[in-house]
Amino acid sequence: MSRMNMVEALNNGLHLGMRENENVVLLGEDVGLLGGVFRVSAGLQETFGTDRVLDTPLSETGIIASAIGMALYGLRPIAEIQFADFAFPAFDQIINELAKYRYRSGNQLTTPVLVRMPVGGGVGGGLYHSQSPESHFAHTAGLKVVIPSNPYDAKGLLLAALREQDPVIFLEPKKLYRTTSAEVPDGAFTVPIGSARRVREGTDVTLICYGAMVPLAEDVARRAAEEQIQVDVLDLRSLLPLDIETVLASVQKTHRIVIVHEAPRTCGYGAELASLIVEKAFWSLDAPILRVTGFDTPFPYRLEKEYLPTSDRILDALRTTVAA
């Protein structure tokens, strides 16, 4: 065990993954010589050489397309998109090629590409370095979508994703890269994709969140407890596939739901989650499901604090739900 922040845990996971399997290669903008803009890939090129850690031109389409080709020929590429905001130039490659290969080839070909991308706000990044595009990918059959909220899950999910036979969109909340550290095993371990984590046990209301909203939710749950509201906090960790069993078990216990995410509200992942819960557990609900989210505007630079869900907004939603 060592104390690691999320960057260190990911870096450690990448080292292990590349050592374990010589077919694992890393490609992206500045991932080699510089070690990545967030230093997640620091030291990898020195250790594994320029054949396995490739600095690419600024062409996200090219990065993903090359990774698909490598995967079809037996490699296990890890493609880094420097900020999730820039996944959009590669959108066609991701949703029309990467996601559809297994289906199109009648199960003859797979594209086990792990696409890493830093997501979310809270770092003063403005509208092109703060977006949370998860619901675009959740609307795309053929992809898996995961998002860790702590160093342990980051490493475990990364190593699990490297063992997948299908493409995984791996979202890294950049706000959490260095804000907290935790004890993380030095060796290899996995956190299964498709399993949520109960962060805090409660009986009055379920707070469902993921990524950078998880530590915030824990703070809010502590504040709520002072008002005698006991909050069950779930960290989804995996958005596609979704651990619906854990979600429904919590609904059966608390009967009240608040969903939190950073992405804009309309057609965000919270909408999918709310409607799934209504479909599967309508008669267990005692109150409407509330969503606390980013607003339907581009991500603001000056108004970032107002845009992102705050402790007060979440607490208000919890109070409203419990009172309903």
Partner 1 sequence: MAVISYLDAISHALREEMRRDPTVFLMGEDIGVFGGAFKVTRGFIEEFGEERVIDTPISESGFTGAACGAAIMGFRPVVEFQFADFIACAFDQIVNFAAKCYYRWGIPVPVVFRGPSGGGFRGGPYHSQNPEAWFTHVAGLKVVQPSTPYEAKGLLKAAIRDNNPVIYLEHKHLYRRIREEVPDEDFEIPIGVADVKRDGTDLTIVTYGAMVHTCLGVAERLAAEGAEIEVVDLRSLAPLDKDTILASVSKTGKALVVHEAQLTSGIGGEVAAIIVESCWDALDAPVKRIGALDVPIPFSPTLEDAVLPSEGKIEATARELLEY
Catalytic residue numbers read 129
Nearest Cα to Cα of residue 7 among 37, 46, 48, 51: 37
138 contacts partner 1 (rule: CB under 8 A): yes
Closer by beta carbon to partner 1, 28 or else 215:
28
The structure tokens 């980051």 sit at 154
Instruction: Please identify which residue in 30, 69, 91, 249 interacts with partner 1, judged by CB under 8 A.
Output: 91
226 contacts partner 1 (rule: CB under 8 A): no
127 contacts partner 1 (rule: CB under 8 A): yes
Instruction: Please identify which residue in 2, 21, 96, 203 interacts with partner 1, judged by CB under 8 A.
Output: 96
Instruction: Please identify which residue in 296, 306, 311, 312 interacts with partner 1, judged by CB under 8 A.
Output: 296
Spatial CB neighbours of 45, under 8 Å, sequence gap ≥ 6: 31, 32, 33, 35, 53
104 contacts partner 1 (rule: CB under 8 A): yes
Backbone angles phi, psi at 290, to 5 degrees: -105, 150
For the CB of residue 88, give the shortest distance to partner 1 in the complex, in Å: 4
Closer by beta carbon to partner 1, 28 or else 142:
142
Piece of 21-29, 33-41, 131-139, 245-253 that binds partner 1 (CB under 8 A): 131-139
Single-letter amino acid code for the residue at 162: L
Single-letter amino acid code for the residue at 276: L
89 contacts partner 1 (rule: CB under 8 A): yes
DSSP 245: H
Closer by beta carbon to partner 1, 8 or else 60:
60
- Return d(Cα 196, Cα 208) in angstroms, integer: 10
CB 133 within 8 A of CB 88: yes
For the CB of residue 223, give the shortest distance to partner 1 in the complex, in Å: 23
CB 33 within 8 A of CB 55: yes
For the CB of residue 121, give the shortest distance to partner 1 in the complex, in Å: 14
316 contacts partner 1 (rule: CB under 8 A): no
- Return d(Cα 111, Cα 231) in angstroms, integer: 40
Piece of 72-80, 115-123, 226-234, 268-276 that binds partner 1 (CB under 8 A): 268-276
Q: Is the bond into 118 cis (omega within 30 degrees of 0)?
A: no
Largest CA distance in the chain: 60
Cβ-based neighbour number of residue 165 at 10 Å: 10
Helices 151-161 and 6-20, interaxial angle, to 10°?
A: 30
For the CB of residue 285, give the shortest distance to partner 1 in the complex, in Å: 8
Structure tokens, 110: 């797979």
278 contacts partner 1 (rule: CB under 8 A): yes
Residues of the shown chain interacting with partner 1 in the complex, contacts defined by CB under 8 A: 85-86, 88-89, 91-92, 95-96, 99-100, 103-104, 127-128, 135-136, 138-139, 141-142, 240, 263-264, 266-276, 278-279, 282-283, 287-291, 295-298, 324
